[in-house]
Structure 1
Amino acid sequence: MSDLGSEEIEEEAENDLGEYEGERNEAGERHGQGKARLPNGDTYEGHYANGKRNGKGFYRFKNGARYIGEYIDNKKHGQGTFIYPDGSKYEGDWVEDQRHGSGVYYYINGDTYTGEWFNHNRHGQGTYFYALTGSKYVGTWANGQQEGAAELIHLNHRFQGKFVNKNPMGPGKYIFDIGCEQHGEYIHEEKVEEEEEEETLLPAIPKWKASKITGLTLWAPEEPPPLVEVTAADKIPSVMEPLTEDLSGAEGESLLEASAESTEATAETAEPTETTISPKDVEEEEESAKEEQKDSAMEEKEEETKEAEPRE
């Protein structure tokens, strides 16, 4: 929808119908901050310079459209937001009443276009989001149409290739989230509808022709870095390590004395302790010694008896 509307009609001269409240210059022209009602029913409130809208202002059209932004010589120029009667909205750059530069257009069906504009059309690099399907077209545009290298991103796959007059054309590939790719090309086939009197050419419909499919590329988590074994010696320095600092003077002597005391304390701690024996253990040892003596005496007596027997 055109956003020019009745704004194309210039404000009327002083002797024509219309109202104005605000500042003027010495020549009687509208100059500075002011508010005007145009003869066609539109209203403007903002800044003027030498009788023309210049600077920031708010223009309300009789049909319900609104523009809030910058003006130069009665034309939208600079940054501004235009709200259309159907509810769609454009936010971005303007040059002489045209969408020109970078901007975002919000459509009434929920779609959005974010990118470059030229002479009121999508032109250059831009992204179009389809609210119904959740897909996105990311690529180049020419005179409002999808044209050139682009990527069409869907929920679980995407297509990379070239577009001509908003249709895919030539070689490209589909990349699936499961890890494989399908390479091929789009071919446009023109269908001919035969009638009794003349033949009618129908619009060309792009047809995908696959050539190869790559294998699945399974995702694998990255291997964790190897663990470095840290010993107790790495954590706690030995008290026996030589001191590398200068130990001269009183401070050095005190440090040496502290080191010697620490070494002696360590040595004393390292000495083994005596083993204590309970009285029960002593009694068991004495009984064992008596049994051994008794057995030894019986063995000696048997030997003597054998020696005293007469020999044949």
Structure 2
Amino acid sequence: MDRKKCLDDTQIAALLQGLTDDSDLSDINSESGDEVFEDDVQSDVEDVEVEQSGEISNLCEDEQATYTDCHVSSKSRIRTFSVPKIRSKNKYCWSTSKGKDTGKVSAINIVQTARGPTRACKLLLEPLSCFNLFFTDAIILELVTWTNTEIGLNRKSNMTKATFGDTNIHEIRALIGILVLTAALKDNHLTTDEIFNSNFSGTRYCSTMSRDRFNFLIRCLRMDDKSLRPSLQIADRFMPVRKVWDMFIEQCKTSYTPGSHTTIDEQLLGFRGRCPFKMYIPNKPNKYGIKIVMICDSATKYMFNAIPYLGKSTNNHGIPLGEYFVK
């Protein structure tokens, strides 16, 4: 008898049902009249190829069959499962069947635009042009108007020097430029005396304005009408900075196209001055400061929207705080 003889259909069906013991094989052999040896069964089962789609082919050279929902283990035993999922000892969940293809991606989930500056902003190559893009003339004019009002209230009759004079658009731009430069050069932790000391920080700061003028402008810098605060600050604690803040954030949003992946998180900006919503977070590098929730592009770290956290006075409209900031 040829020991390499292939199994017939009845024997194959029995193997797929898990009937691999001697008694089952003997029953099948008695019906078919053929003698099958154990090593023949082992060699024939090893020839079974199970594809991910559930098709089993190449059972022998002449016959092929298709069966579903079966699995061949390392010991060449066929298993079938009546449940859609099984769980392993380490609590990992396995699926007993191949998942269905989702098909075409929905058009709403396909990002058609590339991240980066908008078309108008791509033409700006000079640093001063980029600076003026965010600090527009409207923002600077708002600062000049209310800063001069505060200067007029604080200036005394004996203050006749140029240090205590009114400011203008160019000087306010220079003041903001100094603040930006100290942050870029990591000098914002230094005192004013150290910043305007040419032996310590060079001449980049003192060549712009004097130390006394810088201190005077910082004390008088205003962004709103101070006389309206008692009536308006009850509803909005961020009102003294709200108008200028909204204009700046609008420039951030219109100057950049974010990518498909963005991140929402909080940042504590170090500040130890007087502020009604100043926070204390001990695990932050700057323990005292103003917490700002911002959304940034995950690839370029560009911030295109931000909202300050106003403490208990935050009007979250009755929804959880995290959900409110995300929406």
Same fold at TM > 0.5? no
Which has more strand, going by share of residues? 1
TM-score (norm 1): 0.16
Identify the structure with bigger relative contact order (alpha carbons < 8 Å, sequence gap 6+): 2
Which has more helix, going by share of residues? 2
* Pair member with larger Rg: 1
TM-score (norm 2): 0.16
